[in-house]
Amino acid sequence: MRFAIIGATGIVGREMIQCLEKKHLKVSALRLAASPRSVGKMIKTNFGKIKVEKISEELFKNSDIALFAAGSEISLEWAKKAAELGSVVIDNSSCFRYDPQVPLIIPEINPKEISKHRGIIANPNCTTAIAAIPLWEIEKKFGLKKVIISTYQAVSGAGKEAMEELENQTHSYCQNKKFTIDKFQHQILFNLIPHIDKFQENGYTKEEMKVVWETRKIFSRPNIDISCTAVRVPVMRAHSESIVVETKKKITPEKIRAIFKKTSGIKVVDDPKNNSYPMPLFASSDFSVHVGRIRQSLIFGDFGLEFFVSGDQILKGAALNAVQIAELLMKKKK
C-alpha cells in the first residue's frame, strides 16, 4: 500500500519510518511531508532516499494510508480533507480520540473496532497505551473495579525541544552556568514536575483525564473507576507508571504473571531478588511494555494487585501503535 507520513521529520515521524522498516510491511510507495522549514530535506530510509514535501491535496489523493504525527493544528486542518481525498488517516493527536464516530485503537485490545472507521482512526495517548496493555489482560480475566495510576513521564513526551532543554540544563550545571527554562514550568534537571498539560476544573490535568477517557473508550467500559496523577521526570525516553488495581475476582501475582508472559506486547521483568524490574533505561527502543514489581495489594488484598511498567512512549505510545493499526488495515485489504 502507498503510505504518507505527515510530520516525518519530528521524533514520532522518524520513528514511524523505522517501524515501517522493522515490521517489514509491503510499502509500494512512501511519501514524507513536514513543515515548510523541512521541505526539500532528503531522508535516507530502507525505501530509498526520500525528499520531504509540503502537505497537499495531491499527496493524499495518491496515498492509501496517511500517518499523522505533526500535532493538533495540522490534524484539524488536514485529517478530514485527507480522508475525503481517499487516504485512511491514522492520527496521533488528541483531536479525534473522543469523537464517538472515530475508533480509538490499540491493536492488541480492540482490533475489530477498526472496521467502524469512516476515514479516520485515532491513536491513543502514550500514557494510556502503555498502561492499557497489561490492564486489558486483567480486565478480561478478573474484571477491573478500580485503577489508580501514578506516572513518571520522560521529557521526550513533550517533544524534541524538551529533550534538548534537559540536555542543555545538564551541560549548564556541569559548567556552573545559569539554567534556561522554556519548555517546562520549572527546571526539569534534578526535579520532577506534577503538571503535564492544562489543569481542568476538577483539579486533574488534561493528561491525567486522557488516561481516564481513553481507557474507558478502548475497553468499552464507560463507568470504570480510574484515577491518574501524571508527573514529568528528568528521564530522556520511555514513560514509567505505578499501577494499583482492585478486581472483581480474586487475583494472585502468580496467575497474572503467567498470563503476562503469554501476552503479545508485554515483557515480564520481575525478579527483585536479582534487581530486575522495569526501568526506562531498558524499555527505551523496545516494542514491548516491560511489567514487573507484581505483588498482592496491601489495600485490596485478594482482590487487588500492584505493579510497575515502563514503555517507550514514542513507540507503543505513538509510532509503533500507528504502524500496527496500518498493519491491520493491510491485512483487511487482502
Measuring CA to CA, which residue among 86, 78, 77 is closest to residue 1? Answer: 86
What letter would DSSP give residue 282? H
* Alpha-carbon distances, residue 268 vs 89, 280, 289, 292, 313 (angstroms): 33, 14, 8, 6, 18
Measuring CA to CA, which residue among 211, 64, 78 is closest to residue 135? Answer: 211
**Distance of alpha carbon 233 from alpha carbon 249, whole angstroms:** 35
The x, y and z cell numbers of residue 7, run together, are 510530520
Nearby residues of 17 by Cβ (< 8 Å), 6 or more positions away:
5, 8, 30, 32, 43, 45
**Distance of alpha carbon 170 from alpha carbon 163, whole angstroms:** 11
Residues involved in catalysis: 126, 239
Measuring CA to CA, which residue among 154, 103, 150, 80 is closest to residue 315? Answer: 154
Sole residue written with cell 505513538: 318
* Ordered DSSP codes for 183-205: SSSS--TT--BS--SPBPTTS-B
**Distance of alpha carbon 193 from alpha carbon 9, whole angstroms:** 28
**Distance of alpha carbon 185 from alpha carbon 6, whole angstroms:** 29
Cross-strand partners of 241: 151, 309
